[in-house]
Structures are given as C-alpha cells and as structure tokens.
Amino acid sequence: MNFNFTKYFSALLILFFIFINAKKIDLHSIEEEIIQYNREGKHKLSQKKLSDILLNGDLTKEEEGNILFLMATTYRSVNDYMMCIEYLNRSNSIARQLPPDNILRMKIDYEYAFVYFDNNDYEKAEEAMKRIASKNYVNAFPEDNSYILMQEGYLFMIKKKYNEAEKKYYEAMDIMENANTCNVPIVYVKLMNLYGKRKDIGKAEEAYKESMQISDSCNILKYKILASSEMEKIYKENNLFAKAYLIGSKLDSLRRLENQDVKISEMHIVDKALTEKEQIIKEESDIWKRTVVLIVLILLSVLIAYYFFRKNKKIKKDRLRMKEEIEQMKEELNQYSQNSSDEKILNPELDLLLNSNKLTDRQKDLLILLADGLSNKEIAEKLFISENTVKYHTKNIYNILDIKDRKDFFKKLRNN
C-alpha cells in the first residue's frame, strides 16, 4: 500500500511539474518590457532577461525563435548590426519550421529590412522590402508598414526622385495617422528633409509646424528636438542664419528640458525599486507559504532530475551547450568596447588593411589575431566569443577585403 501510494504520488508530482512548465510564457509582455528597456538605454537589462529565459530552457520552438528575435532587436538598438543579423539568422532558422502564417516569420522579414537599412546596406534593404511586398503580409503592426514606406521614400530621395519620395512619405503618413497619431511627427521630419533637398523652405516650415503641434499634443519631447534639429540644419544649408539662430536657441531650451526628463525618469526608477522592495518584504512575511512551496519545488526538482537523467541525457547536453553560448555572449557584450590597439603591427600590408575605413574595430581585432596565425578556436577564446561567431566575422572580413580564404590572406601579407 505504501509502495503504491509513493508511486502514484510521484507520478502526480511529475505530471504537475510538466503541466507547470508546459504553460507558455507571455511573449507579448516580454516584448513590451524589452522595447521599454531598449528605449531607456537599458540594453544590459534586456540582454540579461532574454539570456535568463533561454537558460531556463523548456521553450517551444516558437518561444525560442521569438526570444532570439528580441535579442536581435536589442543588438540593433546599440548599432551592433552584425550580431543583430546573426541572431536574426538563428531566429529565422527556427521560424522556417513554423507554419507559413506564423507572425514571427513576418516580423523577421521586417527586421531584416530595418537592420540592412540602418547599416546603409540599401541594396539588401531593397531586396528585403521587395520580399515583404511579394508576400502580401497582413501586418498586425501597421507602423512597420509605415516605416517600410519611409525607407522606400528615402531610397527614392537619395536617387533624387523627389516626387516618388514625397508620394511614399504621404502613404506612410496615412498609415501612421490611423495606427499611432503620436508617431506622425517622424513622417513630417522625413518630409522636411525632402523639402530641404528641393530648396522648398516654405513647405519645410509647414511640415515643421505640423510636427511640433502633434508633438506638443502628445507631449513627446524627443520629436520636438528631432524636428527642430532638422529645421535648423535646413536653414543653415540655405544660408538663413538668422532663422537658424532663433530655432537653435529654442533647440537648446528643448535639450535642457530633455535632461530634466532624464532626472525625473531616474527618480521614477528609484521609486519603482522601493515599491518592489516593499512587495518583497510583504511576500517574505508569509513564511509558511514559502516553506510549503520550497518543499514542493525541491521534491519536484529531485524527481524530474532523476526522470530526465534516465530518459534523456541529450536535454542536459543541450542546456549545457546553450548555457556556454549565452555565457560567451555575455562576455562578448562586456568586452565589446575593448580592442587590441596596443598591439604593435609590423607588417605594412596588415597595417594598411587595419587603416581601412571598411572594417569595424571588432573586425580589426579579429584580423590581427588571424595575422598571428591563431586558429578559430584560439581566436574565440581570446575574444570571448563562439567559434561560429569567429567564422561569421572572418567571412565578412574576406568579402570586404576581396580575399578568398586564409591561404590567400597570408599570401597577401608575404608579398609585402
């Protein structure tokens, strides 16, 4: 009887644990939190939260793909476009296994267009935008469509196709007015830039006035600064220095207000921390509840650990691998601003390559280690990144410098 009771009780606990872990995470809330962190410049908090979710494991394919996607958007927000694309590729490999109508596949396509555009890779951005157009997405985020149209307008503008650019901007405005009126000032700033190129100061001033009115009504300081900065630039480019001086004074006042907003925001953060601390103290007062929960969790953990150890060792290996990759990613983020500029470069050709404006600082670091003859594994250990990341960066370096492979690279160095 005791044996049967133990057996059934253990089975019940296992089913309970599986049920708890099978519950989906709230992707919508997580995405909103990550967007908020990134807007406030708290990118490390975003990275930590997403890393913790990945480390916890037990994610569905859709959940893992979405978390990797949010990691990509976090990297784009700090202008690390190569890492953004790497995480997008990882997310995309999972998304391709999901149903064709899964919204993640659409979000990834849009993000590719945005990151290529931000990285000034307009050719790939155009390809991504054409792919989006060909799929006729019914986008749950119409603002994304508005941003795509603004990108298309900008591409027309740099080709001096001003009429086509203006048409795209007004299409973007129609969508944005219905989706989020408070973001319409972004479109007006694009129009101001266009009118400045056409030397149509009157229209630029009208767009500036409309942008400021909406920004005032929505109380969005950053849009006021953006519009005023663009108008000041237009006045200066057209030798209207008196008007530039007046709007410059207004811009200085707005920037002072922006600093005040930062201080207020910091105060709100401290207040929130205090509130959370009070909540923790209140929760800790319920000692008996915590004790029961702790006992149940320990029992469940022991049973599940034994179950999965016997049934599936692969899960443990996969989690260990994921943990190592995440830890490497954390180290890379902490070491990102460090470089090897103190190393002495003796080879003239290598020195010439390192002075190229085509390479990023991170790529130059890797190039020095390549020239030292280090293997991919050794480079990964020195830079605190994975071997896959080393291969990815190396391939991009070779493409930029028109080098076939490592043998061709050393041949180029020896010839000088």
Does the global pTM surpass 0.75?
Answer: no
Are the C-beta atoms of residues 71 and 333 closer than 8 Å to each other? no
SS3 content of the chain, % helix, strand, coil (to 5): 80, 0, 20
Calculate the CA dihedral of residues 276, 280, 283, 289 and round it to 10 degrees. 130
Domain 141-285: CATH architecture, name and number where available:
Alpha Horseshoe (1.25)
For residues 5 and 334, what is the distance between their CA atoms, to the nearest angstrom? 52
Are the C-beta atoms of residues 67 and 50 closer than 8 Å to each other? yes
For residues 19 and 391, what is the distance between their CA atoms, to the nearest angstrom? 40
Tens of each residue's pLDDT in the chain, 416 residues? 444 545 555 555 555 555 444 456 888 899 889 888 876 768 788 888 888 888 877 789 999 999 999 999 988 878 888 989 999 999 999 999 998 888 898 889 889 988 898 888 888 888 888 888 887 766 657 888 888 888 888 889 988 999 999 999 999 999 999 988 888 998 999 999 999 999 999 999 999 999 999 988 988 787 889 899 999 999 999 999 999 999 998 888 888 876 654 544 444 443 444 345 435 544 555 666 677 777 888 877 777 777 777 777 666 666 666 566 556 544 544 444 343 333 344 467 777 777 777 888 888 888 889 888 888 899 999 888 899 998 998 998 888 888 888 888 888 777 65
Q: Where are the domains of the chain?
A: 141-285, 337-414
Distance set, CA 264 to CA 43, 116, 202, 224, 241 (Å): 20, 35, 37, 19, 34
For residues 395 and 88, what is the distance between their CA atoms, to the nearest angstrom? 17
Task: Report the CATH fold assignment for 337-414.
Answer: Arc Repressor Mutant, subunit A (1.10.10)
